[in-house]
Chains A and B, each alone.
Chain A
Amino acid sequence: MSDMRIFNLPSRRGWGNFLTHGALILICIFAMLPIATTVLISFKSQQDITRKPPVLFPCDTPTQSFALGACRWAVEGYQRVLAPKPAPDSLFGVSLTGNMVRTYLPNTLLYATVSSLLVVLLAGSSGYAFSRYRFRGHGALMTGILAITGVPLLTNLLALYQMGVKLRNSPFPFDDRVYIIVVYIGFFLPLSVWIAKGFFDAIPRELEEAAQIDGCSPFGGFVRIAMPLAMPGLMAVFLLTFVSVWNEFIAGYLLISKNDYKPAMFGLYDFLGQNIINLQVIAAACILIALPIIILFLFTRRTFFKAMVEGAVKG
């Protein structure tokens, strides 16, 4: 899998080939269909959403069931999510005032960026240490870290919730944002350490030894030689953590008490409560939150696949 030979293989001709393509196209349509319907719903107007029975396309007229020219596409779903207000001094003449873009999405971006950067840093350094040094307790620590991956977030959530309540009431300065970032790091770190160790194991240690003979310190060998060589692997760890944190719901929902600090997934769940029948608003919010991740995935898919397989094999 590491050589990614699935991407460019010679083709064979014939009926079997034709059927294979047909079946794969069907599967792809199945995979894309729910996304397509969500996009479709997000561009409908309220009166087309609340029609009984529902219509697929908002394109019917009293006389025709489908007329391309009569389509009533609307962006009110997006308008309700973004809530643009005219603001003459801003760049585009409008400022977006919706909670989703003002509060929830920036929070999610902050949590995902900071926690995945720190996960890379911590997993990189401890993965390197585990890969290059043999010390007392080496095996026990590695096994311990692997054992921790067996504790689901859901189990720890109860204790983390109570810890949060206690810390909030204590005289310590406490910030929901710092707390949730530490929790995310702790949750995604164990697997990342194993993945990072695997990537360092693949780098020949002679390179660092040569550098040390030339006068480089052990730490310098790690930062200047091993880190850059392991960069593709660390990038995979970063992306995997980023997407996981971006998509995480239950911890963000339960552990953050201040509304201003809640992440986008919470905002979405909240939207569901407020917009029981404004389906276009929910659809638009879904699209706006999923789009950045889908775009990120499309640009970095090879790195993703590598990390996925590596992570799956390690458990």
Chain B
Amino acid sequence: MHQILTRWKSSARLRNSLPFWLILPTVIILLVVQVYPALYTVWLSLQEREPSGWTFVGFKNFERLFGMGVFDESVGHTIVFLVGYVTLTLLAAFFTAFLLSRKIRFSGFYITLLFIPWVIAQIIVGLVFRLLLVPDYGLLSGVFQNPALFPPDGLSVLTAARPQPWFGDFPFPPAPAMILLILASTWRALPFTTLLLLAAIQTVPTEVVESSRVDGANGWQLIKHIMVPLIMPTLVVAIFSLTLSGVNGVGMVFSLTGGGPGTSTHVLSYLLYTIGWSQLRFGRAAALALILAAINWLLISGTMRITREKE
């Protein structure tokens, strides 16, 4: 009897401690790689390196960051990039998903082909598009640099400066290199967004679509009044996740334009790299890193709220 009791007790203790041991390694790794660095970044953003060591400077790093001309410019570039990238990707992905949702043959084949760009690294995507437009030697450079097509001197996409801005200092219209960056990013993000929207479109009941057809709705009305409202939550999730990838994505800037020409493709994520690792101003870089984290948080908590409501 005694033996059975001890066995039962130890088994109960094991049962209680098993989840603890299963979770412990995960918690330790997350504390070391995520929580500590995040707190350290907060600390760093309030410090400045002096010859004697780090000193507390309050919010001076933020003030100095906002005072940098290149910061305002990068915010402008990021907005231009995000608007172009999110709009273009969403429109193209919705169109593609709509086509794929029609009951057609070979859709598995199309999906497979369409999805290959999604597994290609950002760095490689940047290089692939760069190869097309390297000044003088790129495959398409001959077309763009032809003075007859792009008067007066032809257009060298990767090196052409930004046109005169229309609204004060806001970098619009963007430099050709920025448009190329948007196109390359869209090319890579299209598969994922398409799949997300396709999954949503397929949840739209066929009866709803059929009955609105019977009532005489044409294709455009069907999309505008039935499809879009019904998949609205997913559209918002897609917008948020595209914005997230756009804000955080830096690899493509590295390999496609290197931030140039001049500073015309400096987006915030690339600016973080320049301030932190080229200029070695860690305090200011930490301030910028926190701003990026705040944007991420807003977008992710927004996404979570929508998914919860959907469930």
With A24-B99, A133-B19 already in contact, the answer to whether A35 and B104 are too (CB < 8 A) is no
- The verdict on A20 contacting chain B, using a C-beta distance below 8 Å, is yes
Would B40 and A162 count as touching, CB distance under 8 A?
Answer: yes
- The verdict on A75 contacting chain B, using a C-beta distance below 8 Å, is no
A291-311 interface mask toward B, CB cutoff 8 Å, 1 = contact, 0 = none? 001101110010011001100
Would A35 and B128 count as touching, CB distance under 8 A?
Answer: yes
- Distance from B98 Cβ to chain A, minimum over Cβ atoms (Å): 9
Would B23 and A129 count as touching, CB distance under 8 A?
Answer: yes
A1-23 interface mask toward B, CB cutoff 8 Å, 1 = contact, 0 = none? 10001111111100011001101
The 8 Å CB contact of B26, one of A27, A31, A189, is: A189
The 8 Å CB contact of B103, one of A11, A125, A156, A290, is: A11
Would A294 and B108 count as touching, CB distance under 8 A?
Answer: no
With a CB–CB cut-off of 8 A, which chain B residues contact A279? 131, 134, 137-138
With a CB–CB cut-off of 8 A, which chain B residues contact A24? 96, 99-100, 104, 110
Categorize the interface residue count of chain B. 35 or more
- The verdict on A254 contacting chain B, using a C-beta distance below 8 Å, is yes
The 8 Å CB contact of B282, one of A8, A130, A162, is: A162
Interface of A is mostly: helix
The 8 Å CB contact of A309, one of B33, B100, B196, is: B196
Would A283 and B27 count as touching, CB distance under 8 A?
Answer: no
Would B300 and A149 count as touching, CB distance under 8 A?
Answer: yes
With a CB–CB cut-off of 8 A, which chain B residues contact A193? 26
Would B131 and A31 count as touching, CB distance under 8 A?
Answer: no
Stretch at the interface among A52-60, A81-89, A97-105, A228-236: A52-60
- The verdict on B304 contacting chain A, using a C-beta distance below 8 Å, is yes
With A54-B142, A249-B121 already in contact, the answer to whether A151 and B107 are too (CB < 8 A) is no
Closest 3 CB pairs of A and B: A186-B33, A159-B37, A247-B121
A-B contact pairs, 23 of them (CB 8 A): A1-B199, A11-B103, A11-B104, A12-B104, A17-B104, A24-B104, A35-B117, A50-B137, A53-B141, A53-B142, A55-B142, A126-B26, A135-B16, A151-B38, A151-B293, A154-B248, A154-B292, A155-B292, A155-B296, A189-B29, A247-B119, A250-B273, A304-B119
Interface residues of B (CB under 8 A from A): 11, 14-16, 18-20, 22-23, 25-27, 29-30, 32-38, 40-41, 44, 92, 95-96, 99-100, 102-108, 110-117, 119-125, 127-129, 131-132, 134, 136-139, 141-142, 145-146, 187, 190-192, 195-196, 198-199, 202, 237, 241, 247-248, 250-251, 254-255, 269, 272-273, 276-277, 282, 285-286, 289-290, 292-293, 296-297, 300-301, 303-304, 307
